[in-house]
């Protein structure tokens, strides 16, 4: 009964959410598109000609923003466990990022080309057990950080969603060990009650 009540309350908030309505009106696949647009307006992530990897791409809202702001010039590769409907100018790979075979497939799609920007909005399947969900979330974020630090060109940029709480400080420390500049962003489109925050790393620090 309690679970049903929570579900109804979430659904009510969702359908009346300003950014959900705006996404539907403007043809974006998720409200998360507005988070990325707000960050890009401030930090200038996109420009024509970039090579971009979107980890956790479904349902495709971030890829839509990337394709629009790159004006059809450059390369965008999106990856997700779920199927993503096609978007002009975007190549999608369906698979589990934690599996070596899928990572190899992503690397093959890049064909040795250095990446300019890695964006990551991945989230694990939620169990409702906070400690377990937080640990799974940071496991994915750590894999994304390893990928970004390996594939980004020296002036590359990494944007990743994390959640404040257990593991946050350790992850910030790991980010600062890999990038010369690390900043936190909390877009207005992010729900106030959400603990999510986006970390932005610039310029890869080469391993000694």
Q: Which of 30-44, 58-72, 119-133, 182-196 has the lowest mean pLDDT?
A: 119-133
- Summarised one tens digit per residue, pLDDT across range 172-195 is 999 999 999 999 999 998 877 788
User: Peptide bond before 176: cis, by omega within 30 degrees of 0?
Assistant: no
**5 pLDDT exceeds 50?**
no
Count of CB atoms situated within 10 Å of the CB of 155: 11
Annotation marks residue 173 as catalytic: no
Helix (H, G, I), strand (E, B) or coil at 125: coil
pLDDT over threshold 80, residue 125: no
Residue 14, pLDDT score: 47
Question: Is there a contact between 178 and 141 (Cβ–Cβ < 8 Å)?
Answer: no
- For the chain, the average pLDDT equals 89
Which of the residue ranges 2-6, 26-30, 42-46, 71-75 would you say has the lowest mean pLDDT?
Answer: 2-6
Q: Which residues are part of a known binding site for S-adenosyl-L-methionine? A: 60, 62, 80, 96, 121
Taking every pair of C-alpha atoms in the chain, what is the biggest distance, in angstroms? Answer: 56
pLDDT of amino acid 26? 87
C-beta neighbour count of 196 within 10 angstroms: 17
Residue 127 has pLDDT above 90, yes or no: no
Q: So where are the chain's domains? A: 29-204
- For domain 29-204, which CATH number applies: 3.30.43.10, 3.50.50.60, 3.40.50.150, 2.170.190.11? 3.40.50.150
Answer whether residue 39 shows pLDDT above 90.
Answer: yes
Whether 1 shows a pLDDT value over 80: the answer reads: no
Which of 161, 173, 186, 188 is flagged as catalytic?
161
pTM of the model: 0.89
Give me the pLDDT at residue 190, please.
84
Instruction: Enumerate the known binding-site residues.
Output: 60, 62, 80, 96, 121
CA neighbor of 57 nearest in space, from 44, 49, 66, 48: 66
Q: How many CB atoms lie within 10 A of CB 192?
A: 6
- pLDDT exceeds 90 at position 133: no
Please write the tens of the pLDDT for every residue from 144-163: 999 999 999 999 999 999 99
CA–CA distance, 170 with 181 (Å, rounded to integer):
16
Query: Phi and psi dihedrals of 182, rounded to 5?
Result: -135, 130
CA pair distance 80, 100, nearest whole angstrom: 14
Within 13 A of 47's CA, how many CA atoms are on the CB side? 5
Q: Nearest to residue 38, comparing CAs of 194, 196, 187? A: 187
**59 has a pLDDT exceeding 90:** yes
């Amino acid at each position: 009964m309690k679970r049903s009540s929570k579900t109804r309350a979430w659904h009510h908030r969702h359908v009346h959410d300003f950014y959900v309505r705006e996404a539907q009106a403007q043809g974006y696949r998720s409200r998360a598109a507005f988070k990325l647009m707000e960050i890009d307006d401030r930090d200038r992530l996109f420009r024509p000609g970039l090579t971009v990897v979107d980890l956790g791409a479904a349902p495709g809202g971030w890829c839509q923003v990337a394709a629009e702001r790159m004006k059809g010039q450059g390369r965008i590769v999106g990856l997700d466990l779920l199927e993503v409907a096609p978007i002009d100018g975007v190549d999608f790979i369906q698979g589990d990022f934690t599996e070596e075979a899928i990572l190899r497939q992503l690397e093959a799609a890049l064909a040795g080309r250095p990446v300019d920007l890695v964006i990551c909005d991945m989230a694990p399947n939620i169990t409702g057990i906070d400690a377990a969900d937080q640990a799974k979330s940071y496991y994915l974020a750590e894999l994304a950080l390893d990928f970004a630090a390996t594939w980004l060109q020296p002036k590359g940029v990494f944007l990743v969603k994390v959640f404040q709480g257990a593991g946050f400080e350790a992850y910030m420390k790991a980010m600062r060990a890999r990038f010369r500049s690390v900043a936190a962003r909390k877009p207005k489109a992010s729900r106030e009650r959400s603990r999510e925050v986006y970390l932005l790393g610039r310029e890869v620090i080469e391993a000694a």
